Amino acid sequence: MDPKNPGAVDEIIHLGDHWNEAGLRAHKKEILALNREIRRLFNHAYAYLEAANLFLNEVRTYYRDTGALDIAALDRLVLDLIHEIFVPEPCLDKSSYVRRLFATAITPDGPVSHLETIVGHLRKRYIITGDDGTGKGTVVNRLLDAAQMRGYDVEAYHCALDPMRVDHIVLPELGVAVINHVEPHFLTPQEGDKVIDTGQLVDAGVDALFAAERNVARALYRRCMEQAVWFINQAKQRHDEMESYYIPNMNFADIEARRQMVLERILEIAAEAETIRPR
């Protein structure tokens, strides 16, 4: 990320001030080669992630394209949830603020989710289960729209595979979360949670006619994800090799001193903000 307002807003911390340039230049050839290999591996990883997303979207199309999903029933489900979550609460006389985040990452060890740390303490959790393409994302997005129209702030948690998609929302002012229960965002229901299965909106007879085709697309999605993770893992290993050239040539005592300076600066800024915050 490049600084947009250096000095006025952004402060630049250059850790290159603390490395041994001569020691690193002695391994220039190896470092350049590893960087090239890391770029190659990530390019392949991104290609497989793109393919994985394509096949997952293929899975989603089956329920609507075949008419197996009852769209009218899905609309009624959303309306019932809007009434249940928002009707008992007043509309707020302010603009809604949507904070956009991730609860999941695709890592060298595979997809990792920290969803429980985000929603575990909330008073009410709506867990939307069902296959991909049965309307779970529609439920989440319509509830996000409903929250915005009523002035409630929203934490929108996006999909790591397709960042344009919102998987979950949290309404901090209501202590409510709406969760798309899908791999790897599996969440064990607790007492007080409301579990809603959009699979109940699917005509099982129609669905069975196309299940074999859909399962092929799902298998290809999972295979592409596995291959993408393999490439990311390989890139991580090459990155670790490159770090082996940097670690002996870094002055970690100076870096620790810089860390302390940055921490003190952050605390100063926080204290300044506290003195001007309206009460």
Residues 216 and 112 in one domain: no
pLDDT score for 277: 62
Residues 77 and 196 in one domain: yes
Evaluate whether residue 21 is within a structural domain: no
Residues 34 and 137 in one domain: no
Residues 218 and 180 in one domain: no
Tell whether the model's pLDDT for residue 88 goes beyond 90.
Answer: no
Tell whether the model's pLDDT for residue 279 goes beyond 90.
Answer: no
Strand, coil or helix: 95: coil
Furthest C-alpha separation in the chain:
71
Q: What's the pLDDT tens digit per position in 5-60?
A: 988 889 889 999 999 999 999 999 999 999 999 999 999 999 999 999 999 999 99
pLDDT score for 21: 94
Evaluate whether residue 16 is within a structural domain: no
Final residue in a domain of this structure, among 170, 202, 234? 202
The three-state (H, E, C) secondary structure of 114-162, written as one string: CHHHHHCCCCEEEEEECCCCCCHHHHHHHHHHHHHHCCCCEEEEECCCC
Number of domains into which the chain is organized: 2
Tell me 69's DSSP state.
B
Residues 189 and 227 in one domain: no
pLDDT score for 225: 97
Tell whether the model's pLDDT for residue 247 goes beyond 90.
Answer: yes
User: Per-residue DSSP letters for 169-216?
Assistant: EEETTTTEEEEE--TT------TT-EEEEGGGGB-HHHHHHHHHHHHH
- Under the banding of pLDDT at 50, 70 and 90, the label for residue 103 is very high
Tell whether the model's pLDDT for residue 133 goes beyond 80.
Answer: yes
Mode of pairing for the β-strands spanning 166-171 and 154-158: antiparallel
Tell whether the model's pLDDT for residue 278 goes beyond 70.
Answer: no
Mean pLDDT, rounded, of the chain: 94
Instruction: Supply the range of the domain harboring residue 225.
Output: 27-58+208-274
Entry pTM: 0.86
Q: Which of 43-52, 81-90, 269-278 has the lowest mean pLDDT?
A: 269-278
Final residue in a domain of this structure, among 178, 202, 226? 202
Residues 86 and 154 in one domain: yes
pLDDT score for 54: 97
Percent share of the chain, pLDDT over 70? 99
Q: What's the pLDDT tens digit per position in 65-84?
A: 999 999 999 999 999 999 99
Residues 164 and 228 in one domain: no
User: Per-residue DSSP letters for 237-271?
Assistant: HHHHHHHHHHGGGB-HHHHHHHHHHHHHHHHHHHH
Residues 192 and 266 in one domain: no
Tell whether the model's pLDDT for residue 273 goes beyond 60.
Answer: yes
What residues contact residue 48 under an 8 Å CB cut-off, 6+ apart?
224, 225, 227, 228, 231
What residues contact residue 251 under an 8 Å CB cut-off, 6+ apart?
18, 19, 20
Residue 128's beta-bridge partner residues? Answer: 180, 196
Residues 43 and 96 in one domain: no
Q: What's the pLDDT tens digit per position in 160-214?
A: 999 999 999 999 999 999 999 987 777 888 888 999 999 999 999 999 999 999 9
Residues 265 and 143 in one domain: no
